[in-house]
Amino acid sequence: MRSFIAACLVTGLYTLIALPAAAQATRSGTVVGTVARDSLGTMVGEAQVQLPELNRSATTNWLGEFDFSNVPPGRYAIRVRAIGFQPLIDSIDVQPGARVDADIILTATPVSLATQHTTATAVEKRLPIGLQEMEDRRKTHLGGYFVTDSTLRANDDEKLTVFLARIPGLHQELGTTGSGTFIANGRESGSGGCVFCVGDKSDGVFPTGKCYVNVFVDGVPFFLGPASPRNPPPDFNALWAHEYSGIEYYPSAATTPSQYNGAKASCGTMLLWTRRTP
């Protein structure tokens, strides 16, 4: 299986949610790959490649190569950083005894040029499309809960769990192992209201019988319930305010905007908007 990660295809988007590892079998896999600066194969040496959930890291050689051996099966975040480039986070899926090839392309950090003094007519500041839609929904008061860019920027050193704790109806479920925190809407399996709760079996990381909230990142589905060992909910304890510009939460299908609504929205929907400006 080959995972091709091109940060240049997503303008300014370089932070994604890190997923918790869910070991499915005892046979270890291998993750190998290269880090380049463009699709022509100009390699980046001395780049730092990390698997945060496993607390493992590697540094690319002069050919841009890296490898991780003895990786337990599961789904993991992979983080890449190099001087002069925007950080990149994505996910990989390691199968028992298999090899994952990850060819990573980084996006160079824009170079600041000398300031020039010009005179121009003032224009209305427009937010990025996703945040502008969030602001429009916030002003209409249609049943959602919102955390704005200014609030997040004023608390850059806080985790997202701090802000989510202030939203009515959200429950922060602590992981059964490790330090994970998973967001559910309070419905329990067996209570008659949770159609999409995980069953009796879990991967030993997130609690069972909870109605985990659907999550979209920059308008793209990231987690859609029901939760299962092969479809674990995101760990919000790993997410920080300095990575995001906005949070929206809708407690039910009736309040969720139509473009994010569907048959699985009964557990609630959360929209996360990543930070794209300094």
Region at 207 (left for phi over 0; alpha for psi -120 to 50; beta for the rest): beta
Give the phi and the psi of residue 258 in degrees, each rounded to 5: -60, -35
Question: What stretch of H or E contains 179?
Answer: none
> What confidence score (pLDDT) does residue 240 get?
92
Let me know how many helices (H) and strands (E) the chain has, helices first: 3, 16
**Over its length of 278 residues, how does the chain's per-residue pLDDT go in tens digits?**
444 444 433 333 333 444 444 444 468 999 999 999 877 778 999 999 999 999 999 999 989 999 999 999 999 999 999 988 889 988 899 999 999 998 899 988 775 555 666 665 555 556 677 788 888 888 887 788 999 988 999 999 999 999 998 888 898 888 887 788 999 987 654 444 444 454 444 455 888 888 999 999 998 989 888 888 888 899 998 999 999 999 999 988 888 888 887 656 678 899 999 987 65
Going from the C-alpha of 264 to that of each of 41, 200, 202, 218, 226, the distances in angstroms are 42, 19, 19, 19, 8
Cα end-to-end distance, the chain, whole Å: 36
Contacts of 200 (CB under 8 A, 6+ apart): 208, 209
User: Which amino acid, one-letter code, is at 48?
Assistant: Q
Question: From CA 184, how far away is CA 149, in angstroms rounded?
Answer: 23
The token pair that represents 35 in the structure block: 């880090």
Question: What stretch of H or E contains 266?
Answer: none
Please indicate, yes or no, whether the overall pTM of this predicted structure exceeds 0.85: no
Nearest to 19 by CA among 241, 246, 265, 236: 236
Contacts of 272 (CB under 8 A, 6+ apart): 17, 215, 216, 217, 218, 222, 239, 244, 246, 247
The token pair that represents 30 in the structure block: 């291998």
Contacts of 225 (CB under 8 A, 6+ apart): 196, 197, 198, 211, 212, 213, 214, 231, 233, 264, 267
> What confidence score (pLDDT) does residue 6 get?
43
Question: What stretch of H or E contains 105?
Answer: strand 99-105
214 within 8 A of 251, measured Cβ to Cβ: no
Question: From CA 130, how far away is CA 188, in angstroms rounded?
Answer: 32
Q: Are strands 56-59 and 74-81 parallel, antiparallel or unpaired?
A: unpaired
